């Protein structure tokens, strides 16, 4: 399906539920997509960082994307992450995603290597030319260890290479400068780059990004409570900023579940992913809360803390954790 | 004078005008303070990074602080930066600042050395105990190369060591988590740390920080257009978020003056400081636009670009640049 | 073939010659392997960073490894890089490498994600258990953005998980501490970790690493002048340290070819790889000097500078560049 | 006294013993200087990072430098660190050091601010012009967070601004390239920059640096065992590289004392400084082992571990720790 222009709204990066054997649990993934659609999300982002894309084999990536597409069934657009070190490898993923029916591609700058901005520009130009799908740039320095320069994004937006940006840089000042340069918060729409979508991956400041003129939000925590992000988004669109900020604050409190894992024994990625996946299990959405190898699992105490956070947020209304359901 | 509890509002880090001989131009500094007070600011921060504190000798620091205090004449509180590598050296500055009559101190974590969070905690405890003035922590990883952990700030807020935080980390998500943990945007006021002030140094996202519950903003650009930041603050306090965001957007556009300097020949600090100081000169506030040695000066073209930005922002109403006035 | 215990000597990371179509030029690669064997190298490392592994599709990786194995024809061991983001993806490469006949595997810590040392340990344990080939750890923080802690390497050496370390961290002090902990330069051989091989990827300080007790060297520049590294190694083994250092100095001078590319337009990886590949072309070893997309190619002036460096090193004895041979 | 050209040999960065009141213990410092001179060192470096210069007030810096100069009594040259954020502040220290009689100055690039290489060049030019003493550049990215580019060092060496480099960057490949560019290990002496001294601060690879052509070594650990570094240096000068390497290996083993402090509670600087100072106390050289505030002290177990290391190195021949002597 065609993307709305611009792409907007709440677009969660869909977690990839795994079974005890480490394989994609397609039944749980289907339920998760339904959970997100029921929450009112506007699109889905499969195979992003929160989807543990870096831990999935090519076969597993295919299975996950196929499952999300099937479960979404055309009700909302599905974006597919095509995450790999450089252009030739990304292209392989892009062709697969296109063949499976993805509605848009999301690619980072090259990583592992040290790449010049002109080389990064060539990377995006080539991807766009080689596969006929809208292309979004994924700015995630914490993973790829380079920041997409705002001038580069603007250039690629204005020449039509990019249909959007998913900004997970955490650099809100830089994002504000980009938004302002692209016509500002009221400049309908994106001035010199018509239809260009600016999405933030900063799940703790979604209200601020929307106030600044962003089109949407890609919140990892949106897997757990998609409806809250939709309420936040709707309040923002209606200009009810205090309401949006109150929703955000509630989500910030819920987000503290990522501290449940013991930092001394887990990577920071593992702790956050582990908390989200434990929450989905506790909510009864997925059959298991496992993260991919070699990430260490959350211990019992950490899972209890996640449950406490869910409960405090009113997400566990029925008393005992519902996770048992699918075990 | 006693600080309001909490300290709040627009608190610009006051630039330090220099003469051609590299010495503090006290007449210009006095005019700058009046310019800021006329703009309606709520307090002044002398000897911060934007004041080029790292370039001022101890004697010059004394002169600058004295001049600001005298010019402010008790109309607003004056905070003094006490910036040095470690506790014993910071203490020397703190004692001087107290003797000169500063109303509060602003200190970073130790730098040059690699310091453990427990050592950083001891640093702030000792400063607070040794000099009887309210103490604010200055979180500025770009300068000191460590980030103040939110848990540490919270601990030092709750035990009364810190009267506030000046957050220049650019990590808005972390700031949001801290604000939420300290009672949130509506939890009057700062729950477990009564009177604790959260100030943001992120001049491009002041609206967002205020929406999230920050008490004030410390904008370098506020030297150039203090009244605009006061309008932004007032709109935010009144809950007029769209108006606040529009003011912010105008300031983001004005901020682009920092790109005037040629990156290939100047440090990033120099380019931004050079632009602010050129603007103050063009506005007729200061007699010169010079930055401290060894920073490279802006060239003619860059100064013309700064003038163009000022003009576009409506800050040069009278036609020819007014800077000549004091030449 | 079985690895010698410990693996030792000069083990160049084999460049991957590409055709104008971007595909692996197997004829050139075969010639390159012969060039290296003629130079007297002790083993070959295919699919390393210098092989542009991050730019090769899975199919191209297979072709390259197969070609190297065939050309080596059992005369020296062939190590295969298995470079990917996390364990499940690395395992796919490892199984392919084993099936093709590689003699050992070389794996980095996970990248793109943030991984805890205990998770990194699990990563190597699992790889070793799943594929029955000697496993070397590849410490390359510039690419993966974490450093393998010496204590972790030591633990994995002593428990038999690792057969060796390829150290490209540039942290010679840390390497010296590891070597000393593992029995020192004269502790035959590797004390608590019998047969463990310590190889340095620091091509500019190979003499120093051998003096410190390293077993071998993995020099990217060894593609260009393998015989010189073998002379360096032999001198070191014979205790002729001044001779070894003189060889090293000559190679440091030759290495300056990596500065030929204009930094302002190329990534630092591209400039170095571009120089090595231009040199191989100028030497007549390969039919083309192309690097993989999206790396920018060296310009004519840069190639001329590479030729000048080769000539100064006495590697272009016949006058006109021999590269034309295969064009 | 005039520096030898080039400055060479073992030049320890002199620790600054402190009393329980945090003040400089001049009697202990005098004994330490005698300990170093007895060990045969060729010069002394006061007020370096290992001297805890970042923790000393201006008054304490003066006391420390004065004490070292007096104790050295002209037997060896005394270099003085002039460590501060930018040129104007460094100049104040430089003038004081010159007035006290230092024989050379050692300055880093500016820190706290972000400074362009051309600004760094201006910094060194200005320091050299303003104070008539030989000037050495101190490359220590771990403290100042920028690396001195080898091309810049070379330029400042060749134009006579710098009399030498103290390289604590840990980047041995870069150092090797600089040495080679400056005439190489046998090019007497420093080719285009006559008399220029290259000193390494890498105490674990001093043998390697000397093999590469460095003129001297500035080892923190040299406080503890100066005679061993002198033996290492003499062996290297005589071309006895295996003997030099064996001395280095013994010192690497001794260096492990820096791991004695519990990493979870101390900064990495504190742990290393704490170990060296505990060792000096155990050896009876200093009256106390205290480090400057806010560094955490080593605990009893850590001090016992330091003693064990000293004993294993044969530095505690008399049985019970000699530290009690001065208590």
Per-residue confidence (pLDDT) for residue C187, from 0 to 100: 60
High-pLDDT (> 90) share of chain C, %? 88
User: Do D212 and D184 contact (CB within 8 A), yes or no?
Assistant: no
Sheet holding C78-81, edge to edge: C9-10, C216-217, C197-200, C164-167, C135-139, C104-108, C78-81, C44-46
Residue C327 pLDDT greater than 60, yes or no: no
Which of D180, D246, D252 is opposite residue C253, by nearest beta carbon?
D180
Residue A320 pLDDT greater than 70, yes or no: no
Tens digits of per-residue pLDDT, C195-230?
999 999 999 999 999 999 999 999 999 999 999 999
Any chain D CB within 8 A of the CB of C149? Answer: no
Q: Residue C264 — very low, low, confident or very high, per pLDDT cuts 50/70/90?
A: confident
CB contact under 8 A, C111 and A112: yes
DSSP letter, residue C62: H
Tens digits of per-residue pLDDT, D130-183?
999 999 999 999 999 999 999 999 999 999 999 999 999 999 999 999 999 998
Q: Which of A220-229, C177-186, C317-326 comes out lowest in average pLDDT?
A: C317-326
Q: How far is A128 from chain C (nearest CA, A)?
A: 13
- Whether the upstream peptide bond of residue D189 has omega within 30° of 0, thus cis, is yes
**Mean pLDDT over residues C292-302, rounded?**
94
Q: How far is A48 from chain C (nearest CA, A)?
A: 12
| Chain A residues near residue B245 by CB distance under 8 angstroms | 185, 211-212
> ipTM for the complex?
0.95
CA distance linking residue B88 with residue B94, whole number of Å: 10
Tens digits of per-residue pLDDT, A215-235?
999 999 999 999 999 999 999
Strands (E), D151-275: 164-167, 197-200, 216-217
| Chain B residues near residue A173 by CB distance under 8 angstroms | 170, 202-205
User: Do A113 and C55 contact (CB within 8 A), yes or no?
Assistant: yes
Any chain B CB within 8 A of the CB of D110? Answer: yes
User: Do C22 and C288 contact (CB within 8 A), yes or no?
Assistant: no
User: Do C163 and C128 contact (CB within 8 A), yes or no?
Assistant: no
Q: Are strands D216-217 and C135-139 parallel, antiparallel or unpaired?
A: unpaired
Q: List, by residue number, the catalytic residues of A.
A: 138, 166
pTM for this prediction: 0.96
High-pLDDT (> 70) share of chain A, %? 96
Per-residue confidence (pLDDT) for residue B326, from 0 to 100: 43
Residue with tokens 């930066």: B81
Q: Which chains touch C (3 or more CB pairs under 8 A)?
A: A, D
Tens digits of per-residue pLDDT, A108-146?
999 999 999 999 999 999 999 999 999 999 999 999 999
Q: In the numeric block, which tokens belong to residue A312?
A: 């405090």
Residue C38 pLDDT greater than 80, yes or no: yes
CA distance linking residue B30 with residue B28, whole number of Å: 5
| Chain B residues near residue A184 by CB distance under 8 angstroms | 249
Per-residue confidence (pLDDT) for residue D21, from 0 to 100: 95
Residue A100 pLDDT greater than 90, yes or no: yes
Any chain A CB within 8 A of the CB of C296? Answer: yes
Q: Are strands C197-200 and C216-217 parallel, antiparallel or unpaired?
A: parallel
Mutate to test the interface with A, among C88, C94, C124, C220 (most CBs of A within 10 A): C88
- Kindly report the CA angle at C178 between C176 and C183, in degrees rounded to 5? 100
**Annotation marks residue B277 as catalytic:** no
Q: How far is A19 from chain B (nearest CA, A)?
A: 32
Strands (E), D71-169: 78-81, 104-108, 135-139, 164-167
User: Cα C22 from chain centroid?
Assistant: 21
Tens digits of per-residue pLDDT, A186-209?
766 777 888 999 999 999 999 999
Q: Residue D213 — very low, low, confident or very high, per pLDDT cuts 50/70/90?
A: very high
Any chain A CB within 8 A of the CB of B294? Answer: no
Tens digits of per-residue pLDDT, C69-79?
999 999 999 99
User: Computed from CA positions of residues C171, C175, C177, C178, in that sequence, does the dihedral angle turn out positive or negative?
Assistant: positive
CB contact under 8 A, C89 and A293: no
Stronger pLDDT, C21 or A327, i.e. the higher one = C21
Q: How far is D184 from chain B (nearest CA, A)?
A: 31
User: Computed from CA positions of residues D231, D235, D237, D238, in that sequence, does the dihedral angle turn out positive or negative?
Assistant: positive
DSSP letter, residue D105: E
Q: Residue C192 — very low, low, confident or very high, per pLDDT cuts 50/70/90?
A: confident
Per-residue confidence (pLDDT) for residue B1, from 0 to 100: 84
Torsion angle defined by CA atoms of residues B22, B26, B27 and B33, in that order, rounded to the nearest 10 degrees: 120
DSSP letter, residue A23: S
Q: Of A33-42, B180-189, D266-275, which has the strongest mean pLDDT?
A: A33-42
- Give the long-range contacts of residues B189-192, CB within 8 A, separation 24 or more: B189/B6, B190/B6, B190/B157, B192/B154, B192/B157, B192/B158
CB contact under 8 A, B185 and A245: yes
High-pLDDT (> 90) share of chain D, %? 88
Task: Tell me the pLDDT of chain B averaged across its residues.
Answer: 94
| Chain B residues near residue D114 by CB distance under 8 angstroms | 142, 267-269
Tens digits of per-residue pLDDT, D141-154?
999 999 999 999 99
Task: Kindly identify which residue of chain C lies nearest to residue D203, measuring between CA atoms.
Answer: C173
Task: Kindly identify which residue of chain C lies nearest to residue A85, measuring between CA atoms.
Answer: C54
Which of A92, A122, A296 is opposite residue C118, by nearest beta carbon?
A296
CA distance linking residue D48 with residue D16, whole number of Å: 10
Low-confidence ranges of chain B (pLDDT < 50): 320-327
Q: Where are the alpha helices (DSSP H) in A202-299?
A: 206-211, 226-237, 241-255, 268-282
User: Do C78 and C102 contact (CB within 8 A), yes or no?
Assistant: yes
Q: How far is C178 from chain D (nearest CA, A)?
A: 10
| Chain A residues near residue C92 by CB distance under 8 angstroms | 57-58
Sheet holding B216-217, edge to edge: B9-10, B216-217, B197-200, B164-167, B135-139, B104-108, B78-81, B44-46
Per-residue confidence (pLDDT) for residue B78, from 0 to 100: 98
Residue D309 pLDDT greater than 70, yes or no: yes
Strands (E), chain B: 9-10, 44-46, 78-81, 104-108, 135-139, 164-167, 197-200, 216-217
Helix (H, G, I), strand (E, B) or coil at D18: strand
Cα–Cα nearest to D172, from D139, D146, D144, D196? D139
CA distance linking residue C134 with residue C77, whole number of Å: 11
**Mean pLDDT over residues C300-311, rounded?**
96
Any chain B CB within 8 A of the CB of A139? Answer: no
CA distance linking residue D273 with residue B114, whole number of Å: 11
CB contact under 8 A, A55 and C122: no
Per-residue confidence (pLDDT) for residue D266, from 0 to 100: 83
Per-residue confidence (pLDDT) for residue A76, from 0 to 100: 98
Any chain B CB within 8 A of the CB of A117? Answer: no
Task: Tell me the pLDDT of chain A averaged across its residues.
Answer: 94
């Amino acid at each position: 399906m065609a993307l709305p222009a611009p792409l907007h709204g709440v677009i969660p990066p869909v977690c990839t539920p795994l079974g005890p054997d480490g394989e994609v649990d397609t039944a749980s993934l289907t339920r998760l997509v339904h959970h997100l659609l029921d929450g009112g999300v506007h699109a889905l982002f499969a195979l992003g960082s929160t989807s543990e894309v870096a831990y999935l084999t090519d076969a597993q990536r295919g299975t996950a994307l196929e499952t999300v597409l099937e479960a979404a069934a055309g009700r909302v657009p599905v974006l597919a992450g095509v995450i790999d070190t450089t252009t030739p490898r990304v292209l392989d993923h892009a062709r697969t995603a296109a063949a499976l029916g993805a509605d848009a591609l999301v690619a980072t700058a090259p990583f592992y290597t040290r790449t010049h901005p002109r080389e990064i520009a060539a990377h995006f130009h080539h991807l766009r030319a080689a596969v006929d799908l809208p292309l979004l740039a994924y700015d995630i320095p914490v993973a790829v260890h380079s920041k997409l320069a705002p001038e580069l994004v603007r250039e690629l937006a204005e020449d039509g290479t990019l249909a959007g940006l998913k900004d997970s840089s955490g650099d809100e000042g830089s994002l504000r400068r980009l938004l302002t340069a692209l016509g500002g918060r009221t400049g309908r729409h994106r001035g010199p780059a018509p239809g260009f979508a600016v999405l933030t991956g900063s799940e703790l400041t979604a209200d601020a990004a929307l106030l600044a003129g962003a089109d949407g939000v890609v919140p990892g925590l949106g897997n757990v409570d998609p409806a809250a992000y939709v309420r936040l988004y709707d309040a923002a669109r209606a200009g009810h900023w205090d309401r949006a900020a109150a929703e955000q604050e509630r989500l910030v409190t819920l987000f503290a579940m990522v501290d449940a894992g013991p930092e001394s024994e887990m990577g920071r990625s593992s702790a956050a992913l582990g908390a989200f996946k434990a929450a989905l299990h506790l909510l009864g959405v997925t059959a298991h809360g496992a993260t991919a190898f070699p990430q260490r699992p959350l211990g019992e105490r950490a899972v209890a803390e996640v449950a406490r956070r869910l409960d405090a947020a009113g997400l566990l209304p029925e008393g005992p954790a519902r996770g048992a359901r699918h075990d």
